[in-house]
Amino acid sequence: MALVNEHFLKLPGSYLFSDIAKKVNTFKVTHPKQDIIRLGIGDVTQPLAAACIEAMYKAVDEMTRKETFRGYGPDQGYDFLIEAIIKNDYALRGIQLNNAEVFISDGAKSDTGNIGDILRHDNSVGVTDPIYPVYIDSNVMCGRAGVLEDGQWSNVMYIPCTGENHFIPQIPDKRIDILYLCYPNNPTGTTLSKQELKKWVDYALENDTLILFDAAYEAYIQDPEIPHSIYEIKGAKKCAIEFRSFSKTAGFTGIRCGYTVVPKELTGATLTGERISLNQLWNRRQSTKFNGASYITQRAAEAIYSPEGKEQIKKTISYYMGNAKIMKEGLESTGLKVYGGENAPYLWVKTPKGISSWRFFEQMLYEARVVGTPGVGFGPSGEGYIRLTAFGEHSDCVEAMKRIKTWLA
């Protein structure tokens, strides 16, 4: 008989955002006349950059004639996009990559979820805590996370990031095989300086740890001292895979495009100690279980790197960061302690008087009609925090702050 993968059964039945949706729905049903402002889910709201739109029109038009029609593209993406990425996201920061080190995909969620395919099921895993749930859940699904004990997975090391340590994860005193880092961080909105990131690269090199570095929010960095790529740190090509996404950089949440960098010099080991190219394994994984991102999408992504595209996405990012500023100031004026929001589109708010995340979430929903995301949904160290996102409409952010001020006054 066909047996199921029982690791799936260890997962909690529902996803954080479904739980939130249910609670919001209950509120709406019981309060049909009250409007709510959603600052919970990290989805963008502003239109696509004109340069991307133009590129898509053109790409669609190419599909109307057999002379310019495009069928299957290269499995790992078109060179026009790969070259734009290498030039703008890396070479300009002094990082050299070759085309075969960049893999275009339908988004960073797929890639961070699927990367585990190329790694043994019994590697130990480390995460900063709180963290994007996909890192944990995808490891649970293949058995790598172990079993759930008191809210923590037995084969996962949780590295706490809280107000107490200023959200700077402490280097562990034992080794981990695979470590997830996400900077600028989702959900806390905090960043790592070059010096702090270097400590992790050094740790990884020393311990033969593979770093899975998620830089999906790098476009929101305002401070020139904060690294955008882990490869700005010497030696990182020997120990890190980097994930990037156009979702938040250019509003591509509905368009679906991202990419993953797997340097040629990066290796993992076999049980007998032979070194194996991870680039080669990821290439094989993607060639077999993926068939390339849409041509039209890839043309849109290329346009982000045109002079007009760059200007346009910068403007949209400024719009969101303007929201973040208003929210940070608004929340702080009520006496709340707020982290993030300066180099990231997320604000991480300490709940007052030690109230739990879910309790604060419900109070804010019922008393201020504002939806956030309970911090504990991102891991044990998220308890006592709530996440707000800056992706909303400007006027909604202003109004939400008014409501929260009135509520907490």
Q: Which residues 199-228 are close enough to bind a second copy by CB under 8 A? A: 207-210
Segment near a second copy (CB under 8 A), from 70-78, 91-99, 153-161, 370-378?
Answer: 70-78
Q: Which two tokens stand for residue 33?
A: 């006349």
Q: Which two tokens stand for residue 405?
A: 């001020």
Cβ–Cβ under 8 Å, residues 239 and 177: no
The DSSP bridge partners found for residue 261 are 102, 242
Residue 352 CB, nearest approach to a second copy (Å): 31
Nearer to a second copy, 162 or 297 (CB): 297
Residue 68 CB, nearest approach to a second copy (Å): 9
Segment near a second copy (CB under 8 A), from 22-30, 110-118, 349-357, 401-409?
Answer: 110-118
Going 105 to 109 to 110 to 112, the CA torsion angle's sign is: positive
Residue 355 CB, nearest approach to a second copy (Å): 29
The dihedrals phi and psi of 293, each to the nearest 5 degrees, come to -85, 160
Residue 20 CB, nearest approach to a second copy (Å): 14
Q: Amino acid identity of 221?
A: I
The only residue of 87, 121, 314, 315 in contact with a second copy, by rule CB under 8 A: 121
Please name which of 260, 291, 264 lies closest in space to residue 279, comparing C-alpha atoms.
264
Segment near a second copy (CB under 8 A), from 164-172, 222-230, 247-255, 328-336?
Answer: 247-255
The Cβ-side half-sphere exposure at 135, using a 13 Å CA radius, reads: 26
Q: Return d(Cα 210, Cα 288) in angstroms, integer.
A: 23
Q: Return d(Cα 338, Cα 276) in angstroms, integer.
A: 44
The only residue of 33, 65, 166, 174 in contact with a second copy, by rule CB under 8 A: 65
Residue 184: asked if its preceding bond is cis (omega within 30°), the reply is: yes
Please name which of 109, 102, 110 lies closest in space to residue 259, comparing C-alpha atoms.
102
Binding mask 171-200 for a second copy (x = CB under 8 A): ------xx----------------------
Nearer to a second copy, 292 or 382 (CB): 292
Q: Which residues 2-61 are close enough to bind a second copy by CB under 8 A? A: 2-6, 8-9, 11, 15, 41, 43-48, 50, 52-53, 56-57, 60-61
Biggest alpha carbon–alpha carbon distance for the chain? 67
Q: Which two tokens stand for residue 150?
A: 């008191």
Residue 45 CB, nearest approach to a second copy (Å): 6
Going 180 to 186 to 188 to 194, the CA torsion angle's sign is: positive
Cβ–Cβ under 8 Å, residues 167 and 339: yes
- Ramachandran class of 47: left when φ > 0, alpha when ψ lies in -120 to 50, beta otherwise: beta
Please name which of 377, 384, 321, 386 lies closest in space to residue 349, comparing C-alpha atoms.
386
Residue 146 CB, nearest approach to a second copy (Å): 16
Q: Return d(Cα 152, Cα 18) in angstroms, integer.
A: 21
Residue 315 within binding range of a second copy, rule CB under 8 A: no
Binding mask 90-109 for a second copy (x = CB under 8 A): ----------------xx-x
Q: Which two tokens stand for residue 41?
A: 């889910």
Q: Which residues 323-352 are close enough to bind a second copy by CB under 8 A? A: none
Nearer to a second copy, 177 or 218 (CB): 177
Nearer to a second copy, 35 or 274 (CB): 274
Angle of CA points 367, 368, 369, to nearest 5°: 100
For residue 354, count CB atoms less than 10 angstroms from its CB and return exposed for 0-12, middle for 13-18, buried for 19 or more: exposed
The only residue of 63, 91, 100, 147 in contact with a second copy, by rule CB under 8 A: 63
**Which are the contacts of 37, defined by CB distance < 8 A and separation ≥ 6?**
369, 370, 371, 392, 396, 399, 400, 403
Nearer to a second copy, 384 or 392 (CB): 392
The only residue of 32, 71, 94, 307 in contact with a second copy, by rule CB under 8 A: 71
Nearer to a second copy, 259 or 339 (CB): 259
Considering CB under 8 A, how many residues would be counted as binding a second copy?
Answer: 83
Nearer to a second copy, 50 or 171 (CB): 50
Residue 319 CB, nearest approach to a second copy (Å): 11
Q: Which residues 127-146 are close enough to bind a second copy by CB under 8 A? A: 134, 137-138, 141-142
Q: Which residues 251-310 are close enough to bind a second copy by CB under 8 A? A: 251, 253-256, 268-271, 276, 278, 281, 284-285, 287-297
Q: Return d(Cα 243, Cα 249) in angstroms, integer.
A: 13
Nearer to a second copy, 152 or 294 (CB): 294
